[in-house]
């Protein structure tokens, strides 16, 4: 019985004395935060295209869609007839008299239409309407997307990249681990 108490005491004492060695061998370490001195900061700049929309407006003349002046086809008819006659006369010298007559009629009708629109403006048969549209104007813009930072801690120089400017000091995590023998 005395022997077993002595054996238990020796085992317990050995376990207690070896606990710190086992803890250090198992990766026990001391972590803390400290501050390092910033020695250089360089912004990282990216160029992006920025849309700056703007509104563009103008006044446009619009003929009235109702009323007698708008339904009158006389200027187009007279223009087409005159153009056909002139086209026919000019086409007499060539084999393509029909083409010349048709082209003259189309051009004469178009010029009659332009004449009618001018007359409507002069007579006040229409009104001006403000028209607007959105126009995209793109411009290049430089944006700082981060910082390359050099700092010194405990006599050594390190580098990192940060999202914000660190100022004069940067926090560092320090880990002290005993060297294994």
Answer whether 39's CB lies under 8 Å from 156's CB: no
pLDDT tens-digit series, residues 117-139: 777 666 666 778 899 999 999 99
Identify the pLDDT of residue 128: 81
pLDDT tens-digit series, residues 5-41: 544 444 544 444 444 444 445 555 688 999 999 999 9
Identify the pLDDT of residue 102: 75
| Domain layout of the chain by residue ranges | 33-53+144-170, 62-135
pTM for the whole thing?
A: 0.41
With H, G, I as helix, E, B as strand and everything else as coil, classify residue 121.
helix
Q: For residues 91 and 101, give the distance between their C-alpha atoms in angstroms, rounded to a whole number.
A: 7
**Please, where are the H alpha helices in the chain?**
2-25, 68-71, 74-91, 97-123
Say how many C-beta atoms besides its own lie within 10 A of residue 116's C-beta.
19
C-alpha dist (Å) from residue 108 to 27, 84, 97, 112: 99, 7, 16, 6
């Amino acid at each position: 019985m005395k022997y077993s108490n002595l054996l238990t005491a020796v085992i317990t004492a050995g376990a207690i004395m070896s606990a710190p060695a086992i803890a250090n061998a198992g990766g026990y370490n001391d972590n803390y935060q400290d501050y390092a001195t910033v020695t250089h900061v360089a912004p990282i700049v990216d160029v992006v295209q920025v849309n700056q929309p703007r509104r563009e407006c103008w006044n446009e003349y619009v003929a009235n869609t109702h009323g007698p002046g708008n339904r009158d086809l006389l200027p187009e008819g007279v223009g087409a007839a005159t153009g056909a006659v002139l086209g026919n006369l000019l086409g007499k010298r060539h084999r393509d008299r029909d083409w010349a007559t048709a082209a003259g009629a189309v051009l004469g009708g178009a010029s009659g239409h332009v004449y009618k629109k001018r007359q409507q403006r002069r007579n006040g048969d229409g009104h001006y309407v403000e028209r607007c549209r959105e126009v995209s104007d793109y411009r290049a813009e430089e944006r700082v997307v981060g910082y390359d930072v050099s700092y010194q801690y405990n006599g050594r120089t390190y580098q990192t990249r940060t999202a914000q400017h660190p100022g004069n000091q940067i926090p560092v995590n320090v880990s002290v681990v005993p060297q294994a023998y």
